[in-house]
């Protein structure tokens, strides 16, 4: 169709739609003109005026029908009908507010839950990094046989791979750095990212203001530090002040020039990390001087590496090329090393580089949440099916109430198609309204969902729906509307004048819908129960220490560029201040925090212990001060704790846990034995104590080897976390502690302040998120089932009021009537529960890997889930049953 | 009753377009003209004339305009559009092909 023609016909359609009254007037006038002319003609032949008029009208019969046919020609009939159907539907819904409100609540919950989950799913699993062509990005990981996958590379390796490869348009390296940002006399903690020059270029990000880091910046960074701020950091900490570019801020005690601002929405390469400041990679020398050989030693692997594929190069080709290059570099590295045990050389040479799709960066959050999120999305889809079954049931019940209307309309000549359209329009109207409410509900749910995640993990997640989420909500609404509207509409289409559109034959279908809801609901309750049991199992696992009443707070004076004596002095002052706070039972420093997910690891040498091939020699290490074990109430098994006499100059001492004692000193008293961490010199650390085993990194870990060394004997102290045990609520101490530390040194910020219990909860945040989400969805499903069951029972009671009346009049007792209802409910439930239990047995298998300490077929959980469902059903059936029992036979017989 | 059962489907459209190709006319005049030119052979009921006119207008083949008539009343005059003219040419060509084909068949039968 040519556009000009299109324009002219659209004008006609628009006129027909929006100037309907003048179009109608013209039609009337046109036909009237015809009649008048004909009359005139007839009068001319000698007829009287009145006869002529009558004859003319007779010759143009069915004037209204002609008009109707002319209207049909306007081609806007479907739209006009739709408008009329919507208006009529809206009027009907207003007329029965109770029904409408229930339907809308059910819809809002069903669609809202789905939309909220989809939004999370979309943000975590679907959405790529906010960079140019993220599908071209690859992440480099190294696979070490028998050790696993590692994501870090050394600086020399990065340089070689970057300069010599021919398959990538660019390679970038980055790593994290803790920063103290000083500006305008204030000092705050910030998340820093040290990045290689290629970083922004490879990612394809353009500066919002100023410029990004170039090679000169990188080379001169130690003398002339520069930094790029993220947009959100610039907005939040500097109020979006454009003049900040080319001005200096203080980063870890060094005046640093701001050279540019990254564009809004750019958060780097990890969804669960949101850096504030990007600095050249060379600044790591300044900010974290230890280890000193960071940039030269191939054994120092600390950089994450990403690249962008050249056009036309597949990821497999690139991997083959990079792996070969990596191997060549490794061979040279091995040759350059002094002679060492063969097997460690082999380990270096057997390492392979693998390229992984980098559209999500390293995708840690994605990997952790993927399985659970997929499962929850399936659950929410099941909720949607339950919602549809539920609403279909309500609308079918309503059809019975509308039987008269249907019959009337059919009698007046409405076509079946017309009625079906009217019915579908009504359900579409309901579902779109419900979908709109659902979006509101989802924003609220999403906020609640995100609050389960630790702050740093949700930094880049938002509860505001984006275009994809809105499109999803609309699609889900429309599909829901069609699904739940179809059965009622088809029922109407089968209605005829003789056979009322009632629900005699729909009774079985409706009961089937309730059974379906029950069958779908049970697996969801079982899954919720399993996750709850699993969460309880993990949360109540013995940790070895007492987490109650302990508050944690981290300080890192080294970030201010202080030297070690000053750092040490500051820690000492802080510890004294903390112990002097009212209500403090014990206080001590520890470098790593239990169950925070990270720990340092060393390889041990042990006096008098000959290593067999099967022996693992690694152990976790923590640097602690006196008071640490007391604060955690980690009991001593033998020997002593550290004290003030274990000083820098005195002989090196260490405390080991029971696992180390068992493995390395079996049947011996470990006190006085020595171990070491340097293969070149004999073991020099003397064991002075053994403490009980505890959980160190994650709560579900197997017993780990762990040893402790005193702060005083660790030459390079960095961040330390204060562990304070209070006699009461430890949170009351926080403000006091802050002011004490401000008094000691105002430039040392206190960060990661939280109770130990909060910390442990955070370490379980994903489990908690999944557990509570599945419980919420299970509860929703149960509520929907109960509503559905209530509806069916109430409906059948209402329809059988007369029957009940007759039965009672004929002498039936209340319990007979009750038996009638109980029989019906039991029938409905038995089928549903049986099918649901089979479904649950089949379905829960897939979540086995997400559970801890409970099998997917746990009979207790199955029994509890069934009991809850039956209880809800009993409550739902009781209310209408009570009404049936109160039927007064004489009233019932006059009913209808 | 309103369907032009005595006319081949679509023929009415063709006739209206042909009549309007000569001059713009209002509905009544078209109805008169139809009877006139076909010597009263083609009995087009007025009931089907108006829906047909409205259809042609919506298709964009004719356009309508309110103008005073010779006896000074307002009437809706229809006139052929450029697209309508093209459509008419196309349709009359195919009509001619069809009718000559039918004529040929009929003659064949006569032999």
Handedness of CA A615, A617, A618, A623 (dihedral sign): positive
ipTM above 0.85, yes or no: no
Whether pLDDT at A129 is above 90: no
Which of A11-15, A27-31, A108-112, A218-222 is the most confident on average? A108-112
Average pLDDT in the A785-811 region?
80
Mean pLDDT within A696-725:
90
Give the list of residues 6+ apart from residue A484 with CB closer than 8 angstroms, or none.
A387, A388, A389, A390, A391, A392, A395, A427, A431
Q: How far is A276 from A846, CA to CA, in rounded Å?
A: 40
B2: pLDDT confidence band, cut at 50, 70 and 90?
very low
Say yes or no to pLDDT of A588 above 90: yes
Mean pLDDT for chain A?
86
Contact status of A37 with chain B (Cβ, < 8 Å)? yes
- Write the residue in B47, B74, B76 that is nearest to A62 by C-beta: B47
Contact A9 B66 (CB under 8 A): no
Q: CA quadruple A468, A470, A471, A472: dihedral positive or negative?
A: positive
What digits encode the pLDDT tens for the residues A421-477?
888 888 888 999 999 999 999 998 888 888 888 877 888 888 888 888 899 999 999
pLDDT at A87: 87
Please report, in angstroms and rounded to a whole number, the separation of the first and last CA atoms in chain B. Answer: 38
Per-residue pLDDT tens digits for A36-95: 888 888 888 888 888 888 888 877 767 777 887 788 777 777 787 788 888 888 888 888
Q: What whole-number distance in Å separates Cα of residue A716 and Cα of residue A291? A: 9
Inter-CA distances, A714 with A541, A570, A606, A652, A719, Å: 32, 15, 19, 10, 12
Q: How confident is the model at residue A127 (pLDDT cuts 50, 70, 90)?
A: confident
Closest chain B C-alpha to A84 CA, distance in angstroms: 22
- HSE value, Cβ hemisphere, 13 Å, CA-based, for A396: 29
Identify any residues that bridge with A305 across adjacent strands, giving them in sequence order: A140, A173
The H or E element containing residue A124 is: none
CA atoms of A632 and A639, how far apart (whole Å):
18
Q: Which residues of A touch B46 (CB under 8 A)?
A: 34, 59-60
Q: Is the minimum CB–CB distance between B9 and chain A shorter than 8 Å?
A: no
Sign of the torsion angle spanned by Cα atoms A368, A372, A378, A379? negative
Q: Which of A427, A340, A416 is nearest to A391 (CA)?
A: A427
Contact between A628 and A593 (Cβ < 8 Å): no
State the Cα–Cα distance between residues A372 and A390, nearest whole angstrom. 27
Integer Cα distance of A500 and A621 in angstroms:
80
Q: Cβ(A655)–Cβ(A689) under 8 Å?
A: yes
Q: Please state the rounded mean pLDDT for residues A96-115.
A: 88
- Total number of residues shown for chain B: 111
Cα separation, B26 vs A578, in Å, equals 101
Q: Which pLDDT tens digit goes with each residue over A556-570?
A: 887 777 888 999 999
Option in B2, B46, B58 nearest A74 (CB): B58
Q: Is B75 on the interface with A (CB under 8 A)?
A: yes
Task: Please give the average per-residue pLDDT across A153-158, as a whole number.
Answer: 92
Inform me whether the C-beta atom of residue B86 falls under 8 Å from chain A C-beta atoms: no
- Answer yes or no: do B73 and A33 touch at CB < 8 A: yes
Among A residues 71-90, those touching chain B with beta carbons less than 8 Å apart: 72-75
A22 to chain B, any CB pair closer than 8 A? The answer is: no
Q: Which pLDDT belongs to residue B9?
A: 58
- CA-based nearest residue in chain A for residue B72: A33
Which pLDDT band, with edges at 50, 70 and 90, does A411 fall under? confident
pLDDT at A270: 85
User: Cβ atoms within 10 A of the Cβ of B60, count?
Assistant: 21
A-chain CB neighbours of B66 within 8 Å are 26
Whether A231 shows a pLDDT value over 70: the answer reads yes
> What confidence tens digit (pLDDT) does each residue in A833-887 have?
999 999 998 888 888 888 888 888 899 999 999 999 999 988 888 888 887 777 7
Strand order in the sheet with B25-26: B25-26, B74-80, B62-68
Q: Note the pLDDT tens digit of each residue in A20-39.
A: 788 888 888 888 888 888 88
Domain ranges of chain B: 11-110
What is the pLDDT at residue A74?
Answer: 75
Mean of the pLDDT values across residues B82-98? 88
pLDDT at A343 over 70: no
Is B50's CB within 8 Å of A30's CB? yes
pLDDT digits (tens, 9 = 90+) for A747-760: 787 888 899 998 88
State the greatest distance between any 2 C-alpha atoms of chain B, in Å, as a whole number. 58
Whether A70 and chain B come into contact, CB under 8 Å, resolves to yes
- The CATH architecture of the domain made up of B11-110 is Orthogonal Bundle (1.10)
Look at residue A310 in the predicted model and tell me its pLDDT. Answer: 93
Question: Least CA distance to A13: which residue of chain B?
Answer: B58
**Cross-strand partners of A154:** A301
Is the dihedral angle over the CA atoms A434, A436, A438, A441 positive or is it negative? negative
Residues of A in contact with B75 (CB under 8 A): 30, 33
């Amino acid at each position: 169709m040519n556009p000009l023609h299109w324009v002219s016909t659209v004008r006609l359609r628009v006129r027909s739609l929006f100037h309907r009254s003048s179009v109608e007037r013209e039609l009337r006038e046109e036909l009237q003109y015809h009649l008048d002319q004909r009359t005139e003609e007839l009068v001319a032949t000698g007829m009287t005026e009145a006869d002529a008029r009558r004859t003319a009208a007779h010759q143009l019969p069915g004037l209204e029908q002609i008009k109707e046919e002319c209207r049909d020609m306007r081609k806007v009939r479907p739209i006009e009908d739709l408008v009329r159907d919507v208006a009529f539907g809206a009027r009907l819904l207003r007329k029965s507010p109770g029904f409408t409100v229930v339907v809308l609540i059910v819809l809002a919950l069903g669609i809202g839950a789905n939309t909220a989950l989809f939004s999370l799913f979309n943000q975590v699993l679907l959405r790529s990094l906010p960079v140019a062509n993220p599908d071209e990005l690859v992440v480099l990981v190294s696979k070490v046989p028998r050790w696993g996958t590692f994501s870090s590379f050394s600086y020399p390796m990065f340089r070689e791979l970057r300069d010599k490869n021919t398959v990538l348009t660019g390679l970038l390296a980055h790593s994290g750095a803790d920063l103290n940002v000083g500006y305008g006399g204030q000092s705050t903690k910030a998340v820093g990212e040290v990045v290689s020059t290629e970083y922004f270029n490879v990612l394809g990000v353009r500066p919002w203001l100023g410029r990004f880091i170039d090679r000169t910046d990188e080379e001169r960074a130690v003398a002339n530090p520069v930094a790029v701020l993220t947009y959100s950091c610039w907005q939040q900490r500097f109020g979006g002040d454009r003049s900040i570019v080319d001005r200096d801020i203080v980063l870890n005690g060094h005046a640093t020039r701001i050279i540019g601002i990254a564009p809004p929405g750019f958060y780097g390469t990890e969804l669960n990390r949101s850096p504030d400041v990007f600095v050249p990679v060379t600044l790591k020398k300044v900010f974290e001087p230890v280890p000193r050989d960071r940039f030269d030693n191939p054994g120092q692997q600390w950089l994450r590496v990403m690249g962008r594929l050249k056009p036309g190069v597949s990821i497999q080709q690139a991997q083959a090329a990079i792996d070969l290059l990596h191997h060549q570099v490794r061979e040279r590295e091995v040759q350059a090393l002094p002679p060492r045990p063969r097997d460690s050389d082999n380990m270096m040479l057997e390492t392979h580089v693998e390229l992984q799709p980098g559209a999500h960066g390293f995708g840690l959050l994605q990997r952790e949440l993927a399985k659970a999120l997929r499962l929850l999305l399936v659950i929410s889809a099941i909720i949607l099916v339950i919602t549809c079954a539920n609403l279909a049931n309500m609308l079918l019940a309503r059809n019975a109430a509308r039987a008269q209307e249907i019959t009337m309309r059919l009698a007046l000549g409405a076509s079946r198609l017309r009625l079906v359209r009217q019915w579908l329009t009504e359900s579409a109207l309901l579902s779109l309204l419900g979908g709109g409410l659902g979006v509101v509900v989802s924003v609220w749910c999403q906020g609640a969902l995100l609050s389960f995640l630790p702050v740093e993990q949700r930094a880049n997640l938002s509860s505001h729906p984006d275009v994809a989420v809105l499109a999803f909500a609309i699609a889900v609404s429309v599909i829901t509307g069609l699904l739940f509207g179809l059965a009622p509409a088809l029922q109407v289409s089968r209605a005829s004048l003789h056979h009322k559109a009632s629900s005699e034959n729909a009774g079985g279908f409706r009961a089937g819908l309730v059974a379906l809801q029950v069958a779908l609901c049970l697996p969801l309750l079982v899954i919720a129960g399993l996750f709850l049991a699993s969460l309880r199992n993990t949360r109540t696992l013995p940790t070895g220490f007492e987490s109650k009443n302990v508050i944690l707070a981290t300080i890192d004076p080294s970030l201010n560029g202080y030297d070690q004596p000053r750092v040490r002095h500051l820690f000492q002052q802080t510890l004294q201040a903390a112990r002097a706070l009212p209500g403090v039972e014990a206080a001590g420093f520890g470098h790593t925090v239990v169950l925070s997910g990270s720990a340092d690891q060393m390889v041990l040498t042990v006096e008098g212990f000959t290593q067999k091939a099967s022996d693992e020699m690694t152990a976790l290490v923590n640097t602690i001060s006196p008071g640490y074990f007391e604060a955690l109430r980690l009991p001593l098994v033998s020997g002593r704790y550290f004290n003030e006499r274990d000083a820098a100059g005195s002989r090196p001492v260490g405390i080991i846990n029971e696992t180390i004692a068992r493995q390395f000193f079996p049947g011996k008293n470990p006190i006085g034995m020595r171990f070491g961490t340097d293969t070149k010199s004999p073991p020099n650390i003397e064991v002075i104590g053994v403490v009980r085993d505890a959980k160190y990194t994650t709560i579900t870990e197997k017993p780990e080897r762990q040893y402790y060394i005193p702060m005083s004997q660790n030459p390079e102290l960095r961040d330390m976390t204060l562990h304070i045990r209070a006699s009461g609520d430890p949170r009351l101490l926080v403000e006091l502690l802050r002011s004490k530390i401000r008094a000691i040194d105002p430039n040392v910020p206190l960060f990661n302040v939280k109770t130990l219990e909060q910390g442990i909860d955070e370490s379980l945040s994903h489990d908690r998120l999944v557990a509570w989400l599945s419980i919420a969805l299970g509860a929703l499903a149960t509520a929907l089932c109960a509503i559905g069951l209530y509806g069916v029972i109430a409906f059948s009671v209402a329809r059988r009021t007369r029957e009940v009346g007759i039965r009672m009049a004929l002498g039936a007792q209340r319990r007979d009537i009750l038996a009638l209802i109980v029989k019906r409910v039991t029938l409905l439930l038995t089928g549903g529960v049986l099918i649901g239990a089979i479904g649950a047995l089949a379905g829960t298998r897939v979540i086995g890997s997400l559970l801890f300490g409970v099998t997917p077929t746990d009979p207790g959980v199955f029994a509890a889930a069934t009991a809850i469902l039956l209880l809800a059903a009993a409550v739902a059936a009781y209310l209408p049953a009570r009404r049936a029992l109160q039927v007064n036979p004489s009233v019932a017989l006059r009913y209808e | 009753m309103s369907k032009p059962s005595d006319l081949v489907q679509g023929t009415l459209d063709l006739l209206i377009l042909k009549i309007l190709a000569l001059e713009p006319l209002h509905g009544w005049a078209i109805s008169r003209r139809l009877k006139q030119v076909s010597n009263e052979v083609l009995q087009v009921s007025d009931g089907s004339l108006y829906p047909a006119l409205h259809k042609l207008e919506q298709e964009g083949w004719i356009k309508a305009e309110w103008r005073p008539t010779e006896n000074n009343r307002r009437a809706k005059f229809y006139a052929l559009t450029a697209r309508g003219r093209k459509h008419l040419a196309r349709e009359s060509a195919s009509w001619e092909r069809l009718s000559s084909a039918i004529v040929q068949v009929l003659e064949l039968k006569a032999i």
